[in-house]
Amino acid sequence: KLCSAAGHCVSYEELKDLKKNNITHIDVRERWEIDRLGRIPESINIPLSELVEALQMSPEDFREQYHQKMPSKSDHVVFSCLAGARSKQALDFALSLGFS
């Protein structure tokens, strides 16, 4: 299960349905984990250690660094990791930066 700020958790199947809509999926695993375990299709890999800086970049710098459109503070964003602890931290970071 994946959980949101409101405490709403989504299953993998629900996430697949959400990805059909306009959401940004940020995978906060380390790059070596992506290399070893595989990339999640249509996700942006931003290791947790880079996330706060990444979410404060200009949209141009974000696109140059991550090759994707930067999410706005009102966009729907899903964070994922291997076990859930880092994605919860990522959510907390995003909320502290004004993401809703």
Residue pLDDT, tens place only, 79-92: 888 887 888 899 99
How far apart are alpha carbons 19 and 57 in whole angstroms? Answer: 24
How far apart are alpha carbons 92 and 71 in whole angstroms? Answer: 16
- Note the pLDDT of residue 29: 96
16, pLDDT greater than 90: no
Helix (H, G, I), strand (E, B) or coil at 27: strand
Comparing 36 with 3, the larger pLDDT belongs to: 36
Catalytic residues: 81
Mean pLDDT of 64-83: 91
Share of the chain above pLDDT 70, in %: 90
DSSP state of 75: S
- Note the pLDDT of residue 14: 81
Helix (H) or strand (E) run with residue 45 in it? strand 44-45
In the chain the domains, ranked by start, together with CATH numbers, are 2-97 (3.40.250.10)
Helices (H) and strands (E) in the chain, counts: 5, 5
22, pLDDT greater than 90: no
> Which of 8-12, 27-31, 79-83: highest mean pLDDT?
27-31
How far apart are alpha carbons 64 and 85 in whole angstroms? Answer: 28
